[in-house]
Structure 1
């Protein structure tokens, strides 16, 4: 077989016919188009997805979800992260440039400070947005919360690549030889044996007993630090809403307004009162 011998299979191709116009062409006055239907009209073209006039497939298939073009996706930074910066980096003022140089944010991030954790250092924090609980905690520690979107990484360029205390300790523990690693682990266990044991033994409460909280949302709340009824009862509704917003558009329809109230009854073992309250709710939302 050679290239010059290749040819299409018999019957797979045919000669295009030259369609004439008028009665003498043999195709009638319509040039074989006929008299009825869309194909007989001038300018006809087969559009993608057209199914002869019936509802096309791409319109019959149901759609889910909603993308809000006005929604602002924040990069969440919590109070415990600010405290780590103050303890391990030794800063008194935190802005977008410092967060970028320490690897906590990217250039395009819109940063919002949330109220998880404790803050003891007096810091001047300048970012795009704050939650109410974060503002209260920063001012209580003697600091200031300023809404400022100025991005100036050159002012703190000497901190570029510097890690937080927790990350640095992990890196130091990985680099030594095996014997040194074992000794380092032993020192950590000797310093805080009770905390490590408590953290492993604690599994948290079943947050799915709160109406409006499913398995996925319960996992999000536990990750956000609200793994028990007691912690959830003390949570700020705005912080709970921020957790849902950060998780994606599929959770924006949930309303956490009554979750702290339900969690307070569950933490106090008032299950009958909780059931009465849930009977008045509609999927966790107040009617």
Structure 2
């Protein structure tokens, strides 16, 4: 095999359909566009979502809710994950190094999911009311 003998696979290439080239081609006169109307004209089309002047669906429906762009900076950690850690003093940097929270996270909060039986002190980490009670019950502390 040489570079000058390489050809595309059989059936992978086909001639482009040439429309508007006479009656004999089968695609003459209207060139597959039908008769009259906006879609038959050159440059005649409409924007996405246009409904012929009727109020479009995206404008008929009410706007609802929003997604905060700050959410990506928030992270949460469970009591069960804290229990599995082998450190007693926990802060945001430690959690990032271990890989429990993403590097982009700025605000971390402990949620009450799982059990905590060992003493852990948190620094710069928030907690829900239930999680706070569980941490304090285990002898830990939340130093803000």
- TM-score, normalised to structure 1, is 0.30
Cα distance in 2 for residues equivalent to 1:121 and 1:63: 50
In the TM superposition, residue 56 of structure 1 has moved relative to its aligned partner by 2.3
Query: Residue 53 of structure 1 corresponds to which residue in structure 2?
Result: 53
Cα gap change, 1:69 to 1:47, in 2 (>3 Å): farther
The size of the alignment, in residue pairs, is 107
In the TM superposition, residue 71 of structure 1 has moved relative to its aligned partner by 7.3
Contact kept, 8 Å, 1:79 with 1:118, in 2: the verdict is yes
Gaps of 5+ in 1: 1-5, 15-44, 148-287
Query: Residue 102 of structure 2 corresponds to which residue in structure 1?
Result: 106
Greater RCO structure (CA 8 Å; 6+ sep)? 2
More helix by share: 1
SS in 2 for 1:101: helix
In the TM superposition, residue 132 of structure 1 has moved relative to its aligned partner by 0.9
Cα distance in 2 for residues equivalent to 1:69 and 1:80: 28
Contact kept, 8 Å, 2:75 with 2:102, in 1: the verdict is no
SS in 1 for 2:115: coil
Cα gap change, 1:46 to 1:127, in 2 (>3 Å): farther
In the TM superposition, residue 112 of structure 1 has moved relative to its aligned partner by 1.3
SS in 2 for 1:111: strand
Contact kept, 8 Å, 1:93 with 1:124, in 2: the verdict is yes
Cα gap change, 1:101 to 1:137, in 2 (>3 Å): same
SS in 2 for 1:69: coil
CA RMSD of aligned residues (A): 3.6
- Equivalent residue runs for 1:241-256 within 5 Å: none
Cα distance in 2 for residues equivalent to 1:95 and 1:113: 11
In the TM superposition, residue 116 of structure 1 has moved relative to its aligned partner by 2.6
Query: Residue 66 of structure 1 corresponds to which residue in structure 2?
Result: 65
After superposition, the C-alpha distances for 1:140-162 in whole angstroms (9 at most, x for unaligned) are: 33322134xxxxxxxxxxxxxxx
In the TM superposition, residue 113 of structure 1 has moved relative to its aligned partner by 0.4
Contact kept, 8 Å, 1:112 with 1:127, in 2: the verdict is no
Query: Residue 13 of structure 2 corresponds to which residue in structure 1?
Result: none
Query: Residue 8 of structure 2 corresponds to which residue in structure 1?
Result: none
Cα distance in 2 for residues equivalent to 1:107 and 1:84: 20
Cα gap change, 1:51 to 1:134, in 2 (>3 Å): closer
Cα gap change, 1:71 to 1:101, in 2 (>3 Å): closer
Contact kept, 8 Å, 2:119 with 2:139, in 1: the verdict is yes
Cα gap change, 1:54 to 1:66, in 2 (>3 Å): same
Aligned with 2:91 (options 91, 95, 98): 95
- Equivalent residue runs for 1:75-224 within 5 Å: 75-85=75-85, 89=86, 91-109=87-105, 110-147=107-144
After superposition, the C-alpha distances for 1:220-266 in whole angstroms (9 at most, x for unaligned) are: xxxxxxxxxxxxxxxxxxxxxxxxxxxxxxxxxxxxxxxxxxxxxxx
Contact kept, 8 Å, 2:76 with 2:101, in 1: the verdict is no
- TM-score, normalised to structure 2, is 0.54
